[in-house]
Structure 1
Amino acid sequence: MLLHFLHQNIGRTLSRLDLLHHVWPLSHPTDRTVDDHIYRLRKKLRSWERFSIDTIRGLGYRLVFKASKTSGNPLGLDHELRSGIDLLFNMYIRYGQGKGLQKLANHQEVLDIELDIDKDIYLHFVNGDFKWIVNHPESHFRDRAFYLLHVYSMIQFDALKTLSLFEKNLESQLLPPRHKFEIYTFNLISINLQAGRYDIVRQMITNARLQINQQKNGGSVYYLYNLELKLDLYSKQWSNFYQRLRAGDELYAQCPFFREKGVFLIIKGLWELVQGNSVSATRFLDNGLEMFEQSQFIPSLINGLHEILFSRKLLPATDVQNSYEEKWEQISRKYKFPELELSIYDELKKHL
């Protein structure tokens, strides 16, 4: 009945209420019943490559017929064009241009291309559509696991629990090599830093720098620099921190990367707090969050707020840090952090 009704309305977005009224008119199922049936139907449709059920955020579901592309624009098959689009996609990521990523995604039909599943998941991640990543049945867990771990790490404050989940997923061998590299090079450093394991972090940063130099990944230099700053700040190596901070002012004066520059401003704000300068601290913290908002990378904004609030565990807590609780609660309600935390945890544990 569900497939029949969707097919009768192919291409049309149907709300859960529409489906409840037309498919289950004599019973009293819940929204969860609809979601469960959609999930099972999607699994059955996997063998029919021409049909798929799309989730339209905030609206419902839509059955889509994928027309053959063999008679379309021949540019869609051009290797040079696809390579150029991959390069552009990665440039938007590096420079923190979420708006550019969205425009590229919205012009797939014009360019006669289809972004691969990893890019598709990344776009949902950038836009804050975390529930889609948790529940998307048409993508393999191994493609979603990295993003699930990343989201989990930034919506709650138990660093040891987060670290345990990362380590178990790495042991499971489910993660693709590119995601393993990113976790070992960046994510584990941040989580160990939050857990106060400073000696381990120092060695991990040394190893990460070797990896980055081998790959000649210039954009990662800024990310690593911020990690070193945070290590000196949280471990209270004031002399090292101050020297690195002054050098960072010169480094970031010409930095074109929105997200990395935003993190640097957050760190400067926390340093001002250590010195007891509440007014300048607030200015730097607000400017850092504003950089994240300009980038239109939702995870970066969440991470920035998380950093400010988590710093209370590693530095003396102040009223300035506490003042960001309200903004955190607003975002938590918008993206349903408590519910999201449980669903991500269940999804990760299910595959271990």
Structure 2
Amino acid sequence: MMKLTFFAEQGIVQTGGETITLLPKEHALLYYLYRHANQLCTREQLLNAVWPMEYPTDRTVDDHIYRLRKKLKRWIHIVSIQTVRGQGYRLIFNTSFPINPLTKDNEITASYTALLDKYHLFGQGEAMQVLAANQSALGFRVAEEKQLYLEAVKGNFSFFLRPDLSFKQKGFYLLFLYWHIQPNSEKALEYIKKASARQVLPPLWHEEMKFNIIDLYIETKRFMQARQALNRYEQQICEPDMQGFRLFFYNKKLLLSVLEKNHAEAQKWIQHIEQLLPSHPYLREKGLFLVIKGLWLLSQKRFSKADTSIEEGLFALQTSRFIPHLIYGARLLRYFSSPLITEHPEVTARYGQTWEELSELYAFSFLEQRIRQQLDHFL
């Protein structure tokens, strides 16, 4: 299936290097049809999805479909909207679209895969999505595991609730999302320990989770376990192939120092990371660092500097277009700013705003319930 890339803020849709500009409701309507491609979408479903707080009629849907078809006409060889008489509409892709012969060229695929990995290293989520969306035109194929990762990066979290994906394919993402979108760190840790004990994740994701679980040790105040786990990575993190993990590792050390209220150690790690950033200009890691540094500044009651660091950190995370990392940054602020300055609740109250906005945008309560059901089923 050809990929369409949606940019809601700009109201545009892209594929194969071409762009179409849509009105807000047209954009929302096409996005819903795209997420349910090749499925019948009734007018009632479309009304509820696109006009949830309004009272439009079936005619409203029909008029918007008419306008969408006109704008999609240039892509008729790729995609079209089919009318299912008396029922609704279906977005269908042209399966006879000619395959680019370059997709069989291993050198081309290797080159674009290396470029995709480079964008990933530097935290350029939007560039990753644009490259992947145009893989057919460019003549390469994104491997399945990378395609799954790209769905997570752009915040298409409901994708991982699909029943046609095995737990081996989606388990890491379900565990990771469950931890990030709900407040119970203990429950998240319990699920991850179960998954690790049963070795239900592929080896690569199993190792990745062992690295990420350190944050949960810190969150649940298992500080000794966190230090022991960090110590096991101390030498490994200096190896050349661990370059992409280096700042994540030091951010964990900084977070541990901040939550332990070890101010001298925290200051040491802040200085170390700031020295590394010019040679490691990775947007996600920089954003998380500035958020954690902001927490430390809060604990020092340096509120103005804390605000600046946190705002810059959230902006960097938003710019990276790595939605899970933005959520994690907002989570750190939501759940850990208040314990650091309990005597100033008015200062930390505003730090929950980004979390609340993301919670509404990505339907955290719905996701939490559905993910929990799947984890209970599989684990």
1:110 to 133, 137, 159: 137
TM-score normalised to structure 1 length = 0.79
Q: 1:147-177 CA distances to partner (integer Å, 9 max, x unpaired)?
A: 1111111111111101001111112222001
Q: Is residue 185–residue 220 contact of structure 2 (8 Å, CA) maintained in 1?
A: yes
Shift of 1:142: 0.7
| Distance in 2 between residues matched to 1:205 and 1:92, nearest whole Å | 27
CA distance in 1, matches of 2:309, 2:138: 41
**1:282/1:320 contact within 8 Å kept:** no
2:293 pairs with 1:271: no
Number of the residue aligned with 1:83: 110
Name the structure 2 match of 1:144.
170
Structure 1 residue runs of 5 or longer lacking an equivalent are 1-10, 21-58
> What SS is found at the alignment partner of 2:326?
helix
Q: Residue 288 of structure 2 contacts residue 329 of structure 2 at CA under 8 Å; is this kept in 1?
A: yes
Tell me the CA shift for residue 325 of structure 1.
2.0
Give, in angstroms, the shift of residue 68 of structure 1. Answer: 8.5
Cα separation, partners in 2 of 1:233 and 1:100, compared to 1, 3 Å? same
Match of 1:283 among 308, 319, 344: 308
1:250 paired residue among 256, 270, 275: 275
Tell me the distance in 2 between the aligned counterparts of 1:61 and 1:122: 27
- Supply the distance in 2 between the matched residues of 1:178 and 1:86 (Cα, whole angstroms): 18
Q: What RMSD over aligned residues (CA atoms) do the two structures have, in Å?
A: 2.5
Contact 2:294 2:310 in 1 (8 A): yes
**Deviation of the 1:105 alpha carbon:** 1.5
Q: Distance in 2 between matches of 1:160 and 1:219?
A: 28
2:330 to 290, 305, 326: 305
Give the percent of matched residue pairs that are identical in Structure 1 and Structure 2: 30
Structure 2 partner of 1:172: 198
Q: Which secondary structure state, in structure 1, belongs to the residue aligned with residue 273 of structure 2?
A: helix
Alignment of 1:111-260 (within 5 A): 111-135=138-162, 137-185=163-211, 187-213=212-238, 216-260=241-285
Counterpart Cα distance in 1 of 2:111 and 2:196: 32
Could you tell me which residue of structure 2 aligns to residue 48 of structure 1?
Answer: none
Task: With the length of structure 2 as denominator, give the TM-score of the two structures.
Answer: 0.74
| Distance in 2, Cα, partners of 1:150 & 1:234 | 21
Sort the Cα spacing of 1:312 and 1:15 in 2 relative to 1 into closer, same or farther, 3 A.
Answer: same
Q: 1:207: how far off?
A: 1.2
* Partners of 2:257 and 2:116 in 1: CA distance: 33
Query: What is the deviation of 1:61?
Result: 5.8
| Aligned-partner Cα distance in 1 for 2:200–2:301 | 46
1:227-259 deviation digits (Å, cap 9, x = unpaired): 111111111222222222222222224431001
- Alpha-carbon distance in 2 for matches of 1:290, 1:339: 26
Distance 1:220 1:19, change over 3 A: closer
The Cα shift of 1:313 comes to 6.4
Aligned residues of 2:298 and 2:306 also touching (Cα < 8 A): yes
- What one-letter code is carried by the residue in structure 1 that aligns with 2:104? L
SS of 1:182's partner is helix
Number of the residue aligned with 1:42? none
TM-aligned CA deviation for residue 83 of structure 1? 1.6
Residues of 2 paired with 1:60 and 1:342: CA distance?
Answer: 29
Instruction: Give 3-state SS (helix, strand or coil) of 2:234's partner.
Output: helix
1:322/1:60 Cα in 2 relative to 1: closer, same or farther (>3 Å)? farther
Q: Which residue pairs with 2:10 in the alignment?
A: none
Bigger shift: residues 76-85 or 259-268: 76-85
Per-residue CA deviations over 1:22-67 (Å, capped at 9, x if unaligned) read xxxxxxxxxxxxxxxxxxxxxxxxxxxxxxxxxxxxx986455644
**CA 1:241–1:95 in 2, change beyond 3 Å: closer, same or farther?**
same
1:343 aligns with 2:374: no
Q: CA deviation at 1:210?
A: 3.8
Any stretches of 5+ residues in structure 2 without a counterpart?
1-36, 47-87
Higher relative contact order (CA 8 A, sep 6+): 1
